[in-house]
Structure 1
Amino acid sequence: MISFNSSSSSLITNTRNLRRKHLKPYKGKWQQIFNEQQAMEALKKTATEQQQTQTQTQTQIPFLLSALINSFSIYSCEPTPSAYSFIIKTLTQNSQFNQLPFILDRIQNVEKFEPPEQIFSYLIRVYGYADMIDDAVELFFRIPSFRCTPSAVSLNALLYVLCKRKDCLQMVHEVLLKAQAMGIRLEESSFRILINALCKIKKIGYAIEILEMMFDYGYDPDSTLYSCILSAMCKIKGISSAEVLGFFEEMRRKRLSLNGLDYTNVIRLLVKVGKGMDALGLLEDMKLDGIKPDVVVYTVVLDGVIASGEFDKAEKLFDEMLVLGVIPDIQTYNVYLKGLCMQDKFDAGFKLVMCMEELGCKPDVSTYNTLIRALCKVGKVRRAKDEVLRKMKLKGLQENLHTYNILIEGFVSDGEVVEACKLFDDMLSKGFVPMSLTYDVIIGGLCKKGLISEALQMLEQMVKTDITPGVSAWESLLSTSEISLKEATSVDLVLS
């Protein structure tokens, strides 16, 4: 029989008390978590069952808020941030924005927990999507009153909202100043939002200032930010190519990782402003930097070199493409064909079209329009219509408005205004809407042939279809010395 002395009994009693002491907090915490989970389930169930049918006015306590309070009261626990996050998301998903002030006021004035910043950044973004900009700005400045320390997370949410709209950009400066007073430090992501927004609205000068400001904050801008600014610069109408090249060279000096798109944007700009040979030089730099040009870059440079009249260099460039295994596409062939036509090498042009078909690159309407335009330019309008247009139709391609305009202008220039009128009627029968320039060309041709009545009929047709005659049409009519009094009266009637 085992006996216990007094010291052993005392030890057992103390051990039991110690175990109870450790178990109570654990059990209490577990019970609290369980109760909170049960309250959340009750809240979600109530919201699902009744929220759709409950009608509220702006002065009533919102149904979801009442459900939240009741659910957590039943289980004797305090509402949690996740519970408030749930009802906020539910309300915003159902566009019940008028109930949000009640929710926010209770979080601010009644609850004691420190709400996570994600609640406010989410709500700021939602306000932005709902075009409630003032509410988004006001909420951002209220965040400290909710016992929450704002950071770049909520600031970035607001910046994103403001930068999406041009009319809100003027608010950014004030927001940044107040954010600084609130102790919020701009992060690299904040600068990215600002720079991207400024580039979209083509405020390049401000974007560069923000870029330079990053160094003051201890950030080192990467190549993606420079590329964003470079791309926007190249799209600005009338920008100096020297300014773009200067920024591009700065990127190279900083040893930033340039990509093919950076080169393509600058090359395209150079070609656009008529500096095709500079584009060719930049293509060489691109290859020296270890970046393989694709078919797009080669096509753009080829177009620039041809426009500069450097046909021998264009031939070498085209050959280089083939040697390097860059397969020409339809745009490349069309540009190369344009170069042949500029040299009046029509036979070579026809051979090229045949080669395109053999290589599986089917010529398009633009291909045939290039040939038609070139032939019309040297007075070979009949060949353009009877040979090229006929072949185009045999290949299953239909002429477009540009095709008609080229041929009509070609026939008028060749003195065959009757043939031009036939094409014009054919164009109308196929549903094309003529441009004012097309009318002007035909009216001018009719007047030169002395067909004033027909010219006046064409003018009347223009007016009936709400197409404004151009200056050349009026000049052709009014300068015709053979116009009769009756015809002059007709012109006056048209004008009235």
Structure 2
Amino acid sequence: SACEKGGQWQRALQVMEDMKSRNIPANTITYNAVISACAKRGQWQWAMKVMEDMEANQIDANTITYNAVISCCANGGQHQQALELMGTMEQKGIPTNTITYAAAISACEKGGHWEEALGLMERMKNKGIPADTITYTVVISACAKAAQWQRALLLMKEMEINGIPENTITYNAAISACAKGGQWERALQAIEDMKRKGIDANTITFNAAISACEKGGQWQRALQVMDHMQ
């Protein structure tokens, strides 16, 4: 567990090998700690191997195990692997939660699969699993990458209706989506909304807004945004 907290995945694997050589039985908690250590360093292949070792030794993987491996696959850009693991959880009747979905959605976002990210969020809702700020932000970011500004703004509206707090990162993703779609008025409106809600804008916010103004041929507006940055 000390190795896990420090993200020392190689040391964690060594400790597990030492336990095996001394016939000290490992349990789900032991395996989860090793997988978590691998996950912290994005070692998805090792995380998968450790989980396969669990199954070979007839030790049950639980929600924590799968969440760590899915998160690891997401960080390693293995979007298909993450979705397959989620499918396995459902087949085996292992409960999924907000963390599971957030990790799988993150894998879709990193791979540029915005439709799949949206689909996963719909599945969450249908299962009664609450979507939080992080989940929404990642889906909005996935929409932004694909220039799906309408979807991004609809999700922002949904957050507001459901009382889910937005943060700077959420707004940055939405403004970025507006910029890609050349929606300068909506980008500037989003900055006004941030001010009204007391959410801090940062360099990324202003750069995205300037980009939206430039694409819309609104160079004077772009200069005004730059003045706000000073």
> How far apart in 2 are the matches of 1:308 and 1:375?
19
Q: Deviations over 1:363-393 (max 9, x none)?
A: 33332222222333455445422x2222x1x
Answer whether contact 1:270 1:279 (CA < 8 A) is retained: yes
> Does 1:229 pair with 2:66?
no
1:178 match? 21
1:458-477 matched pairs, under 5 angstroms:
none
Choose the corresponding residue for 1:302, options 127, 140, 148. 140
Q: Matches of residues 399-414 of structure 1 in structure 2 within 5 Å?
A: none
What is the TM-score normalised by the length of structure 2? 0.80
Aligned pairs for 1:84-483 within 5 A = 164=8, 166=10, 169=13, 173=17, 175-176=18-19, 178-180=21-23, 184-215=24-55, 217-236=57-76, 238-239=77-78, 241-377=79-215, 380-385=218-223, 387-390=224-227, 392=228, 397-398=229-230
Tell me if the contact between 1:166 and 1:201 (Cα under 8 Å) persists in the aligned partners. Answer: no
- 2: CA distance, partners of 1:351 / 1:195: 44
Structure 2: unaligned runs, 5 residues or longer: none
Deviation at 1:335, TM superposition (A): 2.3
In the TM superposition, residue 206 of structure 1 has moved relative to its aligned partner by: 4.2
Q: Given that residues 259 and 291 in structure 1 are in contact (C-alpha distance below 8 angstroms), is that contact kept between their aligned partners in structure 2?
A: yes
CA distance in 1, matches of 2:181, 2:35: 46
Shift, 1:285, TM fit? 0.7
Identity %: 25
TM-superposed deviation, 1:296:
1.9
What whole-Å deviation, never above 9, does each CA across 1:399-428 have from its counterpart, x for those lacking one?
xxxxxxxxxxxxxxxxxxxxxxxxxxxxxx
Please give the alpha-carbon distance, in whole angstroms, between the structure 2 residues aligned to 1:168 and 1:295. Answer: 32
Shift in CA distance, 254/309, structure 1 to aligned 2, threshold 3 Å: same
C-alpha root-mean-square deviation of aligned residues, in Å? 3.1
Q: CA deviation at 1:281?
A: 0.4
Q: Separation in 2 of the partners of 1:221 and 1:334?
A: 37
Cα displacement string for residues 333-370 of structure 1 (whole angstroms, at most 9, x for unaligned residues): 22222333333332333333223322333433332222
TM-score for both structures, normalised by structure 1? 0.41
User: Which 4+ runs in 1 deviate beyond 6 A?
Assistant: none
Partner of 1:366: helix, strand, or coil?
helix
Letter paired with 1:340: C
Deviates more, 1:360-369 or 1:257-266: 360-369
Question: 1:344–1:374: 8 Å Cα contact kept in structure 2?
Answer: yes
Deviation at 1:203, TM superposition (A): 4.2
Over 3 Å counting, the alpha-carbon distance change for 1:224 and 1:347 in structure 2 is closer
Question: Which amino acid in structure 1 is aligned with residue 73 of structure 2?
Answer: M
Q: 1:210 deviation in Å?
A: 3.5
Q: Which amino acid aligns with 1:321?
A: M
Does the CA contact (< 8 Å) of 2:114 and 2:142 recur in 1? yes
Deviation, structure 1 residue 176: 4.5
Structure with higher RCO (Cα < 8 A, 6+ apart): 2
Change (3 A) 1:268 1:208: closer
Shift in alpha-carbon separation, 1:344–1:195, aligned structure 2, 3 A:
closer
Instruction: Output the CA distance in 2 between the equivalents of 1:165 and 1:342.
Output: 39
Counterpart AA for 1:295: T
The answer on whether the counterparts of 2:54 and 2:61 sit within 8 Å (CA) in structure 1 is: yes
Counterpart amino acid of 1:388? V
Equivalent residues of 2:143, 2:177 under 8 A apart:
no
CA separation in 1, counterparts of 2:55 and 2:167? 44
Q: Tell which structure's C-alpha radius of gyration is larger.
A: 1
AA partner of residue 70 (structure 2): L
SS in 2 for 1:327: coil
Corresponding residue SS for 1:303: helix
Label 1:169 to 1:280 Cα distance change in 2 as closer, same or farther (>3 A). closer
CA–CA distance in structure 1, aligned partners of residues 47 and 197 of structure 2: 47
Aligned length: 228
